[in-house]
Amino acid sequence: MESTSSFTWLTASLLAAIVTVMLKWMHASYFSTKQKPPGPLAWPLIGNIFDLGSMPHHNLYKLRPRYGPVIWLKLGLVNTMVIQSAKAAADLFKNHDAAFSDRKVPDAHTAWDYCQGSLAMGNYGPYWRTVRKLCSMELLVNRRVNDSTEIREKCVDKLVCWIEQSIASSQVEGKSGEVELSELLFLMAFNVVGNLMLSKDLLDLSSTEGREFFDAMNQVTKWAGTPNLADFLPFLKPFDPFRVRKNMAKGMGVAINIVSSFLKERGHESISTEKVMKNKDFLDVLLEYQGDGKEGPDKISEKNIIIIILEMFFAGSETTSSSIKWAMAELLRNPESMKKVKEELDSVIMPNKRVMESDMDKLPYLQAVVKESLRLHPTVPLLLPRNSMEDTNFMGYHIPKNTQVFVNVWAIGRDPDVWEDPLSFKPERFIGSNIHYKGQHYELLPFGSGRRICVGMALAHRVLHLTLATLLWTFDWELGDSLTPQTINMAERTGITLRMSEPLKAIPRKINRT
């Protein structure tokens, strides 16, 4: 009897809270005298959630012809502004970057207090500035990226060996030799980060070492990209109705325990003078800043060191490998572009040599292919959501404090005011062009811009070009019997990153360069 009464009381309280919130929302929405950007009509309580659909970046892009390049949405109870043109993005990042430098943190990222230690998802403030400075000045500065060239070349060489092993195994089994590139590229990128962070390969085709970490990271990536009603209706967060945060915490707990063991292992190692002077990895640098988190703005707790390491794996492996897959897919479905980039490689690389990072500046068409692929397939199509720190006048509109901001770089890459024939894959558009993706050309923003630009952009740039060039220089690539350039499935699967809906498969033929 008591339990029934308690349930009735809880239900009545929840309904009362919902009604109160709805009344406040309706009052704020319909009686505000300040102009907000145009947008579709919002339903009570749920707002424009259904306007997002399963492919938010696509559906938002379709709203632009009717509502313009700056759109206002109510996602549940969350005010949201969407930027969908190069001109609007330029205004945001050049004139209002500071006002929109905060993050709107999804509920899943509060598991294990991840957002409090994260650089990507952390709120703007003293700790964020400390970690950003550390990563920019110590971890991913150009000098350190230059010093790690051999690491990347070693990992890409291992990728070639894996492909050759796959070809040999396939021939023994009498199969066509088709290789699934998706997993191999992810393993390669994962090991690049592993070597930079921890001075070791974590994964191999034949070993189980690091597999638990790999699986845990996949779980974290999965739940980080799962739509969550609690993000749109904040009063549901304490209840975690779809167990998104709980599942995120489970996968993240496994990953945290593994990284903790790396730290303990490093604590028992003595660092030689040579390593101190020349070959310190990212973990060595982070440990130099270790403290209880309260000793000063330049000290980082052990818990947050673990989170920073996890984040490097999240960002460095998934986004990089996905970008290479999209570029390979575009070349396979555009044979003329494939022919041009291979001819350029033949003219630059000596027959008995392998591709090296120092060759990349001599390969303008390859660089154009990478830019064009990133224009059409940015790995984080809406970037990570920003949050307004204060009331702001943006392009004549009133944007209240705590407004979520999406920058639809997928739509900006298709902005008809900027790009001629925007839906076509044409690397030639970048030949002779000074447009780059470092954050100053707002028509091409796969890594973002401003204070929140991706800190790993320089590293991603190196890995993308070296890996793609090596794959094309070492092998000729053919489609399987059931595929043609016209029938390659380019459908997308969204999560926290933009993946191909089907694994990328192709048949590599080793080229004899002797």
Note the pLDDT tens digit of each residue in 114-128.
Answer: 999 999 999 999 999
pLDDT surpassing 60 at residue 157:
yes
Residue at 238 is within a domain: yes
The annotation status of 115 as a binding-site residue, yes or no, is no
Residue at 438 is within a domain: yes
Number of helical (H) and strand (E) elements in the chain, helices listed first = 20, 12
Residues 196, 282 contacting (CB under 8 angstroms)? yes
Per-residue model confidence (pLDDT) at position 7? 45
Residue at 26 is within a domain: no
pLDDT surpassing 80 at residue 139:
no
pLDDT surpassing 60 at residue 82:
yes
Residue at 5 is within a domain: no
Tell me phi and psi for residue 477, to 5 degrees. -115, 130
**Short-list 443, 395, 446, 440, CA closest to 415:** 443
Please write the tens of the pLDDT for every residue from 331-385: 999 999 999 999 999 999 998 889 999 999 999 999 999 999 999 999 999 999 9
What is the Cα–Cα distance from 414 to 410, expressed in whole angstroms?
7
**CB-side exposure of 165: number of CA atoms within 13 Å?**
11
Residue at 414 is within a domain: yes
Per-residue model confidence (pLDDT) at position 348? 96
pLDDT surpassing 90 at residue 482:
no
Instruction: Quote the tokens at residue 19.
Output: 């009604």
Q: How far is CA 127 from the centre of its chain?
A: 22
pLDDT surpassing 70 at residue 20:
no
Residue at 4 is within a domain: no
Instruction: Quote the tokens at residue 130.
Output: 């400390």
What is the Cα–Cα distance from 320 to 461, expressed in whole angstroms?
9
Task: Specify the residue for token string 């060039």.
Answer: 469
Q: Which of 243-257, 364-378, 482-496 has the lowest mean pLDDT?
A: 482-496
Residue 290 domain boundaries: 32-510
Tell me phi and psi for residue 432, to 5 degrees. 80, 0
Cβ contacts of residue 183 below 8 Å, gap of 6+? 503
Residue at 41 is within a domain: yes
Residue at 25 is within a domain: no
Radius of gyration of the chain (CA): 24
Domain at 405, CATH number: 1.10.630.10
pLDDT surpassing 50 at residue 3:
no
Per-residue model confidence (pLDDT) at position 19? 55
What total of structural domains would you count in the chain?
1
pLDDT surpassing 70 at residue 6:
no
Query: Residue 446: what residue type?
Result: P
| Alpha-carbon torsion, ordered 308, 310, 312, 316, to 10 deg | -170
**Predicted model pTM:** 0.90
- Of 16-30, 273-287, 392-406, where does the model show the most confidence? 392-406
Cβ contacts of residue 172 below 8 Å, gap of 6+? none
Question: pLDDT tier at 496 (50, 70, 90 boundaries)?
Answer: confident
Task: Specify the residue for token string 């720190």.
Answer: 389
